[in-house]
Amino acid sequence: MFLFLDFQNKQEQFSFFFFWRRSEKYLKKMTLMIFLVMLIMESATEKLCPLRASIDVLEGEYFFLCYLESRQEHFQEEAYTVNWYKESAGKQQLIKETRRIVSQMNFLEFWPAELSDSGNYSVIHSNGKRNFTVQKWTLNVLERNKSSCFNENHLTTEIKSAGIGHSLKCSDLSVNENDSITWYKDCKKYEHETEREVNFRALTVQNSGIYTCKILISHEGTIYYSTNTIKLVVEEDAPEAFSLEIVGHHEEIETEIGKEKILNCTGFLGYYMQEDASLYWLINQTFPEQCTDIPENEPSICEEELKKLQLGNKFYITRLLRIKKVRDEDMHHNFTCMLQADESTQMKIVKLKKGKTQDLPVHIFTTGMVLALLFPFVAVAVVFVFVMFRVDFVLFYRSICRRDDTAGDGKEYDAFVSYLKDCVSPIEEEREFALKILPMILEENFGYKLCIFERDVFAGGAFVDDIHSFIDKSRRLIIILSQNYISDRAIYELESGLHKALVERKTKIILIEYTPIRDYNFLPESLSLLPSKRVVKWKKDKSLPVNSRFWKNLRYLMPAKPIKIKTTGHYNNLDLGSKTA
């Protein structure tokens, strides 16, 4: 009997233990599921409400501003009110709800957005005792293009290689999965595509185009819509497929007898550095001597050491041929650049020819030499004055002859200005210099036309395309250089300009050393190939007057063009010293 009761008690204990173990596993699974659901909801909210300071939207489309609920933790245990504000005439104006503008906790909806909605917005939490600004935005409502289904300033660009899979994703402005979606390619309806993504198993060049997705949203019996436009560029060759080549074709270069001439040969190696690649010069099928860096022992024509460059994801090698003084017989030589790698050989032939007279005619130089022989003391004085005031003489010569290097070259701007934008310096000196001082002098006083990205380029465009396009349209690239210069956008502008100057030789670079720089290691190595004479140093108050050495040196490096200097005295002494000092 006792044995039976003991067995029954053990059986009950085992059943309870088994039930408790199953309940514990069930509770763990439930806890994990709840955590995953909360994580997904948080991720979806972050996707809908990204932390963007500036937002572009097209007029006539549905749009909303929102912030993450996690950002309101400062009033988590207190009652508070949510107020939305728009800046008007420098003051914050409370937004009153209308049928078109509706606020719902952390959302401010526009049914639809209008051009007048552009401005600065903020959301403030208040508990009656104190206010807390949760987030701020700058909303730019862009005018709709009446002749097209998209606005060129409101699209993103995606560059892909042929042969890979890719998906184009529609915007997340619509949270309802049942909303109707229509895709367009080059403003023509893209058949059989009604999902939020357009999938390509293997891209081809024919897939290139401008894709627009249109989401229809129903609200209080009215149909609204929002659009998202993507420019897809499919490159025919994948990065692995390339041909070894020398940049540029056979060419004739203008020069003058007696002047130094440097010939540059650059070879494109592809998307990785080939260690066995060689690049060298031949003069009438004869190897030149190597440069020694000792002026008195330097041969008349010598070849410098091979240098390796990386611009973006592309690799180059380059070698300079230095002609100390061009002779008449050099005009009849063939200077051949040879590139060899992977049992492949490329060549480029360069010839010299007598060019047009530049800045100072030869007869002026000859007259000066005759005077130097006849009157030694006068000659020494003339040479000294010329060296000290060479820039002034050249500017005076351009002014008298009204020389114009910009006529008929097809360029729209005299210079593209690159400066620090992504990181703001402590007193914003560099930004004020780029946006205020530089255009005030060069544009208003000397008639130059500058391209300043923040001022002249509409927001919302394709950044990569804009940078390439505007540098191509400019005769010079002005880089305002400081220790804080390097950022994602600034380094891209610098690399693009170096590619134009060193590889394509289409654009000349001017470096403005805005603040003294002790260490240049943060700059690309290829920048060392630029001549030191193209660096101008800003010396704060000393450089402010229009007739200072800084502005003269900068004008000397700019393209020659006729100017009309204003006679009013306002610009001769800028009233910016207290801000810039």
The closest of 570, 462, 554, 544 to 511, measured between CA atoms, is 554
CA distance 72 to 44: 17
| H or E segment to which residue 16 belongs | helix 2-48
Output helix, strand, coil percentages for the chain, rounded to the nearest 5: 30, 30, 40
Q: Tell me phi and psi for residue 126, to 5 degrees.
A: -140, 135
Yes or no: say if 479 and 511 are a contact pair by the CB < 8 Å rule: yes
Q: Is 376 exposed, middle or buried (0-12, 13-18, 19+ CB in 10 A)?
A: exposed
**Joined tokens for residue 411:** 């360029």
Q: What is the 3-state secondary structure (H, E, C) of 309-349?
A: EEECCEEEEEEEEEECCCCHHHHHCCEEEEEEECCEEEEEE
CA 440 to chain centre: 23
Torsion 456-459-463-466 (CA) sign? negative
Choice among 61, 429, 430, 493 that is catalytic: 493
Q: Tell me phi and psi for residue 162, to 5 degrees.
A: -65, 145
Distances (CA, A) of 116 to 52, 139, 224, 227, 454: 20, 10, 18, 19, 22
Dihedral of the CA atoms 566, 572, 573, 579 (nearest 10)? 60
Q: Tell me phi and psi for residue 274, to 5 degrees.
A: -95, 110
Could you confirm whether 493 is annotated as catalytic?
yes
Residue for token pair 């956008």: 489
Q: What single-letter DSSP state applies at residue 39?
A: H
CA distance 256 to 352: 9
Catalytic residues: 493
